[in-house]
Amino acid sequence: MIDTLPPAVIFILGALIVPFIRGKWKRAYLLLLPVVGFINLVLTPEGTHWTLHLLGYDLVFGQVDKLSLLFGYIFHLIAFICFLYALHVKDDLQHLAGLIYAGSALGVIFAGDLLSFFIFWEMLTVSSVMLIWARRTGASVGAGYRYLLVHAAGGLCLLAGIALHVNQTGSLEFGYIGLSGLGSYLIFFGFGINCAWPLLHPWLTDSYPEATITGTIFLSAFTTKTAVYALARAFPGTGALIWIGAIMTAFPIFYAVIENDLRRVLAYSLINQVGFMVCGIGIGTALAINGAVAHAFNDILFKALLFMSMGAVMYRTGKINGTDLGGLYRTMPFTCICCMVGAASISAFPLFSGFVSKSMIMDAAAMGHMDVIWFVLLFASAGVFHHAGIKIPFFAFFSHDSGMRPKEAPLNMRFAMGIAAFLSVFIGCFPQYSLYRILPFPVHYVPYTFPHVLGQTQLLFFSALAFTLLILSGIYPAEMRAINLDIDWVYRKGGRIFYSLMNWSLNGLNRVSEQVFMKGITGIAARFARDGIARLALLPFVTYWYMKGIRFKRLEIKKASLYYNLAGGVIPAGIGAAMAALFLVIIFLLS
């Protein structure tokens, strides 16, 4: 029996105390919680812990092995950095959501059964959407709803898949699943939505740039990386992932080149980086899986660093569009340097963290003789430097002088960025003493060989040359105040078209029905019920009177008298009795 707690519990229960603490104690508490969690994790040995027997199934809250531990470490680390960065925020909702979000991610990572996995998976969505809504703008509310709907659909898909899978195998255990049968495909697809696969991706680029300044840092770290973990656990070596990943690396960079909102540029580059991980998981060799999860580890740090630097710019200037920014290196040098460290890391410059992980995936593709894939990945490597490596720092901190002279980022933000920047450089310089020690498979990979360093440096420097030449020649597309359509058009405009169509058809049907039934047939029936009998009765009587030679005024008087008597129900008693007798005679004769 061990004395440690499930990592998720520390964060989720810890979150509930936040509203009851005030001031500096709250700030200390927020920073302490990830530290306590981390110590707890370090003390937890590998193996299966915290099993709960429920309804004939075993719920496992602690599937602790090298794969889950790696994600556990980085999630604690980034949670600390995120809370440090968000320390000035006075909004309890965001702190609560952040803690529950991080806790849910840890719950997913250490879940050993599909039921608790699913529950934490759904908690991820519910808690993270609060970080979007907490911005409290119209755009963020809309983006949050779309985010929620897409993830709800993905969650249902996953749930259906889990139900089928458990029914088929009779086991709730969360381990290797592989593609076989409908259930596994549904699970695969459910993971894919959180992983932002091509065509399933627009929830990410739609919502992340609308979240709060500090919320985006949380968002960039957890959702997609838990999906990467889930894929690495359940679908390693699945061939489809190679192509899905390769497409993910390539298509977002075209969007990133023409996008004006710099946080949205980063959102596109997030998809691009996750593509490398997905591709690595698809290749499935020990080197590729090592590369994929190592890249996830590094990406969490450098992507957070880039988002933090843009967040600091946004915090100080209130602006985030490339058209509004420029020249900020003058008064925000520290943020600028951190941003450039993040840019160098994501671009995989030698001595920065991306270099030691991305190249593992590239080499795994090369060893598998995947020519086209390798070319696409190389293209994406050049492209990511182009848009995230150069464009982000250039348009925010250099380029034309926007005239703004904002203050440097607040101290807590600088510390958070500083830690992430330091780690990115440290891992890049000494991978064998840090990252390579915690990878799931033994590492024999040597990133720093002369040809490799030279090749990568050439690739990046000449990508930069392309940027320089295109900027100087004026061909580089100017940043524009515009939006770029993506696949979310299908449900954003398509949803409205569907609504209009339904409005036109169903409400049209409603209107026609009202005309026909409410006003038409009902009216006729009502009129008939009112005086229909009287009018019918007039017919034989008037014919009879006419034949008897009654004309003109006398006829009119007789008609009116009969009509009012019948319609008013005041027929003379004799006629009524005669009619009743006649009725009885007819009945008698017919029976």
Partner 1 sequence: MKVKAPGSESRESSQDSKKYLFDNPRNIKILFAGYYSALGILLILDFFVHKHAHFQWAEWPEFYAVYGLVACVVLVLAAKYVLRPLVKRREDYYD
Residues 266-305 that bind partner 1 (CB under 8 A): none
Question: Out of 141, 466, 562, 567, which residue is the one contacting partner 1 (CB under 8 A)?
Answer: 466
> Is residue 201 near partner 1 by the rule CB under 8 A?
no
For partner 1, the closer CB: 351 or 459: 459
Name the segment binding partner 1 (CB under 8 A); options: 172-180, 269-277, 403-411, 412-420.
403-411
By C-alpha distance, which of 365, 334, 370, 248 is closest to 299?
Answer: 248
Nearer CB in complex with partner 1: 226/456: 456
Piece in contact with partner 1 (CB under 8 A), picked from 225-233, 285-293, 471-479, 515-523: 471-479
Task: Count CB neighbours of 438 within 10 A.
Answer: 17
Joined together, the tokens standing for residue 314 give 């946004």
Q: Which of 484, 535, 555, 558 binds partner 1 (CB under 8 A)?
A: 484
Residues whose CB is less than 8 angstroms from the CB of residue 529 and which lie 6 or more positions away in sequence, other chains included: none
Here's the x/- map for partner 1, 323-342, by CB under 8 A: it reads as ------xxx-----------
Query: Distance between CA atoms of 273 and 346, rounded to whole angstroms?
Result: 8
Query: Six-digit token pair at 193?
Result: 């939505």
Whether residue 408 contacts residue 331, with contact meaning beta carbons closer than 8 Å, is answered with yes
Q: How far is the CB of 401 from partner 1 (least distance, A)?
A: 8
Comparison of 21 and 555: residue with beta carbon closer to partner 1: 21
Say what the alpha-carbon torsion angle 117, 118, 120, 121 is, to the nearest 10 degrees.
Answer: 110
Tell me if 128 contacts partner 1 by CB under 8 A. no
Whichever of 44 and 269 has its CB closer to partner 1, that residue is 269
213 sits near partner 1 (criterion: CB under 8 A): yes
Q: Tell whether residue 457 is a contact of partner 1 (CB under 8 A).
A: yes
What is the closest distance, in whole angstroms, from the C-beta atom of residue 23 to partner 1 in the complex?
A: 14
The nearer residue to partner 1, 128 or 212, going by C-beta atoms, is: 212
What angle, 0 to 180 degrees and rounded to 10, lies between the N-to-C axes of helices 215-234 and 286-317? Answer: 170
Q: Residue from 31, 32, 141, 257 that binds partner 1 (CB under 8 A)?
A: 257
- Which residue in 31, 141, 425, 459 binds partner 1 (CB under 8 A)? 459
Instruction: Please report how close the Cβ of residue 89 comes to partner 1 at its closest, in angstroms.
Output: 6
Report the distance separating Cα 425 and Cα 114, nearest Å: 37
Backbone angles phi, psi at 51, to 5 degrees: -95, 135
Question: Judged by CB under 8 A, does residue 454 bind partner 1?
Answer: yes
CB atoms within 10 A of CB 277: 33
Note whether 556 binds partner 1 by CB under 8 A: no
463 binds partner 1 (CB under 8 A): yes
In whole angstroms, give the CA distance from residue 346 to residue 188.
27
Residue 23: in which H helix or E strand, if any? helix 23-43
Q: According to CB under 8 A, which residues from 131 to 170 bind partner 1?
A: 134-136
CB 374, min distance to partner 1, A: 7
Q: What angle do CA 78, 205, 410 make, to 5 degrees?
A: 45
Per the structure block, which two tokens stand in for 402? Answer: 């926007």
Buried b (16+ CB within 10 A) or exposed e, 65-80: eebbbbbbbbbbbbbb
* Sites for partner 1 among residues 486-505 (CB under 8 A): 486, 492-493
512 touches partner 1 by CB under 8 A:
no
Cα separation, 302 vs 307, whole angstroms: 9
Contacts of partner 1 in 4-33 (CB under 8 A): none
Q: Judged by CB, which is closer to partner 1: 76, or 264?
A: 264
Contact with partner 1 (CB under 8 A) among 20, 25, 176, 254: 254
DSSP string of 147-179, one letter each residue? HHHHHHHHHHHHHHHHHHHHHHHS--B-S---S
Residue 458 sits in the site that holds partner 1 (CB under 8 A): yes
Could you tell me which stretch among 64-72, 111-119, 277-285, 466-474 binds partner 1 (CB under 8 A)? 466-474
Nearer to partner 1, 184 or 456 (CB): 456
Region of 4-12, 270-278, 344-352, 370-378 interacting with partner 1 (CB under 8 A): 370-378
First-to-final CA distance of the chain: 93
Residue 378 CB partners (closer than 8 Å, separation 6+): 362, 459
Question: Is 357 among the residues that bind partner 1 (CB under 8 A)?
Answer: no
Neighbours of 483 (CB within 10 A): 10
**CB of 407 vs partner 1, minimal distance in Å:** 5
Cα–Cα distance, 5 to 363 (Å, whole number) = 39
Residue 137 three-state SS: coil
Give the C-alpha separation, 199 to 193, whole Å.
Answer: 9
Binding piece for partner 1, criterion CB under 8 A, among 16-24, 45-53, 115-123, 448-456: 448-456
Q: Which stretch binds partner 1 (CB under 8 A): 112-120, 177-185, 266-274, 468-476?
A: 468-476
Q: Which of 406, 428, 431, 447 binds partner 1 (CB under 8 A)?
A: 406
The interface with partner 1 within residues 42-101 (CB under 8 A) comprises 88-91, 94
- Of 528, 533, 540, nearest in space to 569 by CA: 533
